[in-house]
Amino acid sequence: MFYRASLQAAAALASFSLLVGGCGLLSESGSETDQKISVGTTSSPSTLDPAAAWDGSWELMRNIYQTLMSFPTGSTSPEPDAADSCVFTDSTSMAYRCTLRKNLKFSNGEKLDARAVKHSIDRVVDIHFKGGPAGMLGSLDRVETKGDDTVVFHLNKPDATFPFILATPAMSLVAPGDYPKDKIRDDGKVTGSGPYLLDAYEPGVTAEMTKNPDYRGFANRKNDAVTIRYFEKSADMVNALKAKEIDATYRGLTAEEVIGLEDKKDGNEGLQITETVGADIRFLVFNPKDPAAANPAVRKAIAHIVDRDALVAKVYRGTAEPLYSMVPKGIAGHTTSFFDTFGDPDVGKAKNLLTSAGITEPVKMTFWYTTDRYGSSTQPEFEELERQLEKTGLFDITLESAPWKSFQEGFTRGDYPVFGRGWFPDFPDPDNFIAPFVGEESVTGTPYRNKEITQQLIPATRQKSDRAAVSRQFERAQQILVEDVRLLPLWQGKLYVASGEDIGGGERALDPQTVMQMWELYRKTSW
């Protein structure tokens, strides 16, 4: 009798806790009941339509749309999501077939079938939104449907990275009835089939999501609803976390804020920081139109002088890592080729290079950076680079800056001798850290002609769907980048999820594209 009464009392107490706390109890297995999580970020979407998105809008899209392929937690290889299976049908990686899961549907009740897949991918190409993701589909020739559940992507050239492209949120599947073939949807609404439904959205302010009861995919949702709050200033976001107005943060924390949150003092009690190595990188671009930047001796001298350890320690205070290759740590094929060639900073070697090239006076150069794209630490980063180079007496550096829009126009015109760029990967494959930077249409805006990379190495790797079998080619490509020093890698970022100590899943919430998987977050306890 006493045992039963105790159980009844415990049950009553649990029910009372749910009513008061508004959050659920977790079993040891991590299951949940009525879990609601609030997340803050400084990364606000620019659009809700995947056909226009090649930016931070992917953060929200990953959670409300579905893609044929995706990156489950811990995987750097794309695996089926809306698809039941996908496979190259030939040995040259020119035809890719996907068979859909059964009984998929969009939130408006439309069937998610082969016709809807074709419509979704075709409209990305047909609309060709300026700044949008159509450029990612350069290898796509046409999309063929076979019945209701099979889609075949016919390519115009071998491209083993095509499954990775299909796994990006840019290739999200949309309902044909609500998304016109020839224009972007702009009514502020979403019709998807992803893990969550977007119940309400106010641009730059908030996104309200609830669990999609009809979702059929890989995501194991550990909560029932997520509110995303968008902040203009990271300080306001951190204050909201400390005040328990939000449960977690993602994107936008400064180095000082990360270090402050790691200190369990001054209002940081009850908070935790989860750290993971990011795949975003920063690097310098040398423009061969400029006489000094075009001189290999000058570029190699700079490579001998730049002290990445000091840069990371002084400016980023350990919240970034020195980078010695354009392919960052954590991506297959990563090497330390710049360190292997140039080693630790050596002013003597830099001076010898310049002297041998007939340069006896300090080299005058102008370094450009953008003021509003990569965070508030960009200016002190370039001031540190200026200090390092001028301290040697070998260089006379002038710093110039511009807002992103005019900065982008400037480097595209070839106006800047040396400038800083960042890169957030589209997918976790070494191809995405080499191919975009070489060729006539380099994303740096500065053509980088190297036939061995563009005509031999990259085409050879794209014929092999086994990505583990292409490391030799990418190692050679990285070595060529070292020999040319047209690009100088500086550092790669770390990603941080700050949260209350009662929030779990932060370590699993970042996929290999460093896009937030909100479904991994859960509340450990309600009291």
Express each pLDDT in 76-127 by its tens digit.
789 999 999 999 998 888 999 999 999 999 999 999 999 999 999 999 999 9
pLDDT, residue 15, reads: 34
Weakest-pLDDT range from 4-13, 153-162, 229-238, 263-272: 4-13
pLDDT, residue 233, reads: 87
Rounded to the nearest 10 degrees, the angle between the axes of helix 347-356 and helix 296-305 is 170
pLDDT, residue 84, reads: 97
Task: Identify which has the larger pLDDT, 426 or 385.
Answer: 385
Collect all residues with Cβ–Cβ distance below 8 Å to 475 and sequence separation of at least 6: 333, 335, 337
pLDDT, residue 513, reads: 65
Smallest CA-to-CA distance from 38 within 300, 219, 240, 259 is with 240
- Mean pLDDT score across all residues of the chain: 89
pLDDT tens track for 6-16: 333 333 333 33
What confidence tier does 372 reach under pLDDT thresholds 50, 70, 90?
confident
- Is residue 467 within 8 A of residue 443, CB to CB? The reply is no
pLDDT tens track for 27-69: 333 444 479 999 999 888 889 999 998 888 999 999 999 999 9
Burial state string for 238-252 with b = 16 or more CB within 10 A and e = fewer than 16: bebbbeeebbbbbbb
Collect all residues with Cβ–Cβ distance below 8 Å to 501 and sequence separation of at least 6: 270, 271, 272
pLDDT, residue 28, reads: 35
pLDDT, residue 512, reads: 66
pLDDT, residue 16, reads: 31
pLDDT, residue 198, reads: 98
Q: What are phi and psi of 254, to 5 degrees?
A: -80, 165
Task: Identify which has the larger pLDDT, 25 or 305.
Answer: 305
Q: What percent of the chain has pLDDT over 70?
A: 93
What confidence tier does 262 reach under pLDDT thresholds 50, 70, 90?
confident
- Is residue 465 within 8 A of residue 209, CB to CB? The reply is no
> Can you tell me the distance from the alpha carbon of 66 to that of 330, in angstroms, rounded to the nearest whole number?
25
pLDDT tens track for 456-467: 999 999 998 888
> Can you tell me the distance from the alpha carbon of 226 to that of 221, in angstroms, rounded to the nearest whole number?
11
Beta bridge partners of 423: 281
pLDDT at 389 over 80: yes
pLDDT tens track for 481-526: 999 999 999 999 888 899 999 999 998 887 766 788 999 999 996 5
> Can you tell me the distance from the alpha carbon of 67 to that of 150, in angstroms, rounded to the nearest whole number?
15
pLDDT, residue 125, reads: 97
pLDDT tens track for 472-484: 999 999 999 999 9
Please tell me whether residue 5 adopts helix, strand or coil conformation.
helix
Q: For 4, which DSSP code?
A: H
Count CB-CB contacts under 10 A for residue 11. 10
